[in-house]
Amino acid sequence: MSDRPEMFEAVDEVWMDGEFVDFEDANVHLLTHALHYGTGVFEGVRCYETEEGPAIFRWEEHLDRFYNSAEVYDIEIPFEKQELTEATEELIRREGFESCYIRPIAFYGYGPLGLNPGKSPVQVGLAVWPWGAYLGEEALEDGVDVAVSSWRKYASSQIPTNAKTTGTYVNSVLASLEAKENGYTEAIVLNKEGNVAEGPGENIFLVRDGEIYTTGLAESILDGITRRTAIELAEERGYTVHDDATISRGELYTADELFFTGTAAEVTPIRSVDDNEIGTGTKGPVTDELQTAFFDLVESGEREEWFRYVYSND
């Protein structure tokens, strides 16, 4: 339909509460609890076109995080993991996608309003759609210009940072809006101590003197699945990786290289921060090596333990 966002033009169905539903009929009630209070959890997962056909990358880790996020908010997902896995694979097959983005979501639905979800039912949905490079195809090669946001990342003593919660992404929305309004592609968010946390939807890596640093879980970050992948790929190639680092704002400006990782962003170079050129202002050699390794991996599907092949898991 003409009023659909372009990214959803090819989508025919979604899965809601155990049933496949026409895209146009995928609705929730105005008084849905999560719509008012942000009481939902979600995941972002990619299915890649590999040599063995469409394959979901690190699905089990994403699914584990999805259920763990729900547990934090006492959201009891009324489906077993295997049921969601089968529904996801069937949805991809029905849509005929060779590659796509996958969005599982669980939330408190229509019930009595008030801060306590009370007797609000838990609703669960799955959607898939084609989605290219999150920060733009050219960003993968040329890098992105970013700015340190005036908005700080919330601390785990305020809201759990290990849960991927719908409501808390307002923090990311504010940082992203601010960056774009000021002419930057993306933001970097500091934590309450003033040290680097992450991007609005990405983890961040710093390269200095041939060693790799990424902010630790205690720095108010999400434990990213692509972050884990980048760490493993780097260590396999002989790099020293400091995966529990504290990175100051000033260290960003003097880094040899910086890059983002994330399911949506994949591995994206950062070429400047607050108008300060990083390194040579182009994709650095370490970033290039890890980015190449990442895309070689997801396009080949060579590590079977990291993939679910959509047409061969029955």
Q: Are 125 and 142 members of one domain? A: no
Residue 30 covered by a domain: yes
Q: Are 19 and 102 members of one domain? A: yes
Residue 305 covered by a domain: no
The whole-chain average pLDDT of the chain stands at 95
Q: Are 171 and 277 members of one domain? A: yes
Q: Are 232 and 273 members of one domain? A: yes
Check residue 55 and give its pLDDT.
96
Q: Judge whether residue 313 has pLDDT over 60.
A: no
Calculate the alpha carbon distances from 108 to 34, 52, 66, 105, 121 in Å.
5, 38, 15, 10, 6
Long-range interactions of 109-116: CB distance < 8 A, separation 24+? 109/28, 109/29, 109/32, 109/33, 109/34, 110/28, 110/29, 110/31, 110/32, 110/33, 111/33, 113/31, 113/33, 113/36, 115/37
Q: Supply φ then ψ for residue 55, to 5 degrees.
A: -140, 135
Q: Are 186 and 114 members of one domain? A: no
Q: Note down the domain range covering 110.
A: 6-130
pLDDT digits (tens, 9 = 90+) for 95-134: 999 999 999 999 999 999 999 998 899 999 999 999 988 8
Residue 126 covered by a domain: yes
Q: Supply φ then ψ for residue 292, to 5 degrees.
A: -60, -45
Q: Strand 266-273 relative to strand 144-152: parallel, antiparallel, unpaired?
A: parallel
Q: Are 58 and 204 members of one domain? A: no
Q: Are 171 and 101 members of one domain? A: no
Residue 59 covered by a domain: yes
Residue 309 covered by a domain: no
Total tally of structural domains belonging to the chain: 2
SS3 292: helix
Q: Are 302 and 274 in contact (CB under 8 A)?
A: no
Residue 1 covered by a domain: no
**Domain final residue pick, 105, 130, 155:** 130
Q: Judge whether residue 301 has pLDDT over 90.
A: no
Q: Are 300 and 306 in contact (CB under 8 A)?
A: no
Cα distance between residue 224 and residue 45, in whole Å = 11
Residue 313 covered by a domain: no
Residue 262 covered by a domain: yes
**Domain final residue pick, 130, 161, 179:** 130
pLDDT band at 1 (very low <50, low <70, confident <90, very high): very low
The domain that contains 78 carries what CATH number?
Answer: 3.30.470.10
Which residue has tokens 């838990």?
122
Q: Are 145 and 263 members of one domain? A: yes
- Average pLDDT (137-149) is 94
SS3 268: strand
Check residue 172 and give its pLDDT.
97
Q: Judge whether residue 2 has pLDDT over 80.
A: no
- Comparing CA positions, the residue from 146, 135, 114, 105 lying closest to residue 15 is 105
Q: Are 94 and 127 in contact (CB under 8 A)?
A: no
Q: Are 170 and 274 members of one domain? A: yes
Cα distance between residue 104 and residue 97, in whole Å = 17
pLDDT digits (tens, 9 = 90+) for 7-43: 999 999 999 999 999 999 999 999 999 999 999 999 9
Q: Are 172 and 288 members of one domain? A: yes
Residues whose CB falls within 8 Å of the CB of residue 55, separated by 6 or more in sequence, listed in order: 47, 48, 301, 307, 308, 309, 310
Q: Are 183 and 293 members of one domain? A: yes
Burial class (CB in 10 A: 0-12, 13-18, 19+), 312: exposed
- Indicate which residues carry an active-site annotation: 164
Q: Are 183 and 224 members of one domain? A: yes
**Domain final residue pick, 130, 152, 176:** 130
The domain that contains 218 carries what CATH number?
Answer: 3.20.10.10
Which residue has tokens 């895209």?
23
pLDDT digits (tens, 9 = 90+) for 193-231: 999 999 999 999 999 999 999 999 999 999 999 999 999
